[in-house]
Amino acid sequence: MSTTLRISAEPLDPAAEAAALHAETISNLFRDLHLLLPKDTLVRRDEPLAKRTTLRVGGPADLYIEPGSDAALSLVLETARFRGLPVILLGRGSNLLVRDGGLRGVVVSLAHPHFSRIETEGNRITAGAGARLKAIAHEARRAGLGGLEFFEGIPGSLGGALRMNAGAMGAWTFDRVERLRCMDRSGAIRDLPAAEVPVEYRACPLLRTHIALGAVLRAEPADPEVVRSRMEQCSHKRWESQPNEPSAGCTFKNPLPTLPAGRLIDELGLKGTRIGDAMVSPVHANFLVNLGNATARDVLTLIGLVRERARTLRAIELETEVEIIGEDA
């Protein structure tokens, strides 16, 4: 006679099981951080990221943290590593496309005043990674220093600009960096002369693994009125040649120094092409703008369409400059 063994519990769906486990890890980390971190560090759960990016699309982060000190940042890294969760740094979100499902893990922003200080001494400006580039440009003008006017036109923070080696008006961020202060993923701080930090067009490879904390920038004495007028030129050029709608700035890297992605996409006749509420800007073709209710999916589909046209019609492989993170909904 045979017997049948019956297990009464419902069989578990592996995806549901993984999601439950993940939610528990997040709850544990949230509790650890509340216990360990000083009160001036902001910790939130399920923080919508759309409002923290200039493109204004994308889902939430499991945890969103604004550490109030170097020690608090180091503690966040250590605690997240212990729980096996990734930590992603968010600047002003001006070069970021977050997918609609958001980010599993921890998002850290250096928006606390501790990381946003700007101090001038002689020809040098020491600024934290959270400082806005615009604020640095204005502080330089106030102090009678020139050379940083191009920061006026970049809507980001110093941390993001260092990581991206952001540029405008023919100048790059690292043209002006004398020293870089950064933290590795174990919390150790390094203060490096710029000569020891390799950089490329739109990249500082060291900052793929390290977190920029700030930098010493080199400027030169200049008449504040001359600096003001150069800043106005940068700002004017930007308003004249770039769209006002929400965007993540230039979407693609220029494929060649002699072939700007904007001109290529324009020549492909794609200005005004629309998927949902995402559109190739009629003002500058390398900007994909959000007309109001775009989803990350709309923008990604449009990116795919532009890349496909460039590939089939011009045999050019466009690479995104915008960083794409998170998971689909």
Q: Does 137 interact with ligand EPU (rule: CB under 6 A)?
A: no
Q: Does 321 interact with ligand EPU (rule: CB under 6 A)?
A: yes
Reference 251, options 325, 161, 322; nearest CA is 322
Strand runs labelled E in the chain:
42-48, 60-66, 87-90, 96-98, 103-109, 118-121, 124-128, 145-146, 167-168, 171-172, 177-183, 189-193, 211-218, 220-221, 247-250, 274-275, 278-280, 287-290, 323-325
Question: Applying CB under 6 A, which of residues 254, 273, 290, 320 lies at the interface with ligand EPU?
Answer: 254
Question: Applying CB under 6 A, which of residues 70, 175, 178, 266 lies at the interface with ligand EPU?
Answer: 266
Nearer to ligand EPU, 92 or 112 (CB): 92
CA distances from 137 to 100, 234, 314 (A): 34, 11, 39
What is the smallest separation between the CB atom of 323 and ligand EPU, expressed in angstroms? 11
What is the smallest separation between the CB atom of 251 and ligand EPU, expressed in angstroms? 8
Site size for ligand EPU, by CB under 6 A? 16
Nearer to ligand EPU, 175 or 266 (CB): 266
Q: Does 249 interact with ligand EPU (rule: CB under 6 A)?
A: yes
- Dig out the tokens for 308 from the structure: 């496909």
Q: Does 320 interact with ligand EPU (rule: CB under 6 A)?
A: no
What's the rounded Cα separation, in Å, for the pair 212 and 217? 14
Answer for the pair 126, 166: CB distance below 8 angstroms, yes or no. Answer: no
What is the smallest separation between the CB atom of 230 and ligand EPU, expressed in angstroms? 13
- Dig out the tokens for 59 from the structure: 């889902």
What is the smallest separation between the CB atom of 148 and ligand EPU, expressed in angstroms? 14
Nearer to ligand EPU, 58 or 60 (CB): 58
Nearer to ligand EPU, 153 or 214 (CB): 153
- Dig out the tokens for 155 from the structure: 């809507």
Tell which positions 158-197 bind ligand EPU, by CB under 6 A.
Answer: 168-169
Answer for the pair 171, 150: CB distance below 8 angstroms, yes or no. Answer: yes
Query: Position 277: which residue type?
Result: D
Nearer to ligand EPU, 93 or 249 (CB): 249
Question: Applying CB under 6 A, which of residues 218, 263, 297, 314 lies at the interface with ligand EPU?
Answer: 263
Q: What are the φ/ψ torsions at residue 110 (nearest 5 degrees)?
A: -95, 45
Strand runs labelled E in 147-229:
167-168, 171-172, 177-183, 189-193, 211-218, 220-221
Q: Does 285 interact with ligand EPU (rule: CB under 6 A)?
A: yes
Judged by CB under 6 A, the stretch of 63-71, 260-268, 298-306, 311-319 that binds ligand EPU is 260-268
CA distances from 173 to 119, 133, 148, 160, 163 (A): 18, 10, 9, 10, 9
Question: Applying CB under 6 A, which of residues 177, 250, 296, 316 lies at the interface with ligand EPU?
Answer: 250
Q: What is the distance of C-alpha 17 from the center of its chain?
A: 32
Mark residues 288-317: x for contact with ligand EPU by CB under 6 A, - for none. Answer: ------------------------------
User: Can you give the C-alpha Rg of the chain in angstroms?
Assistant: 22
What is the smallest separation between the CB atom of 254 and ligand EPU, expressed in angstroms? 5
Question: Site residues (CB under 6 A) for ligand EPU?
Answer: 168-169, 241, 249-250, 253-254, 260-263, 266, 284-286, 321
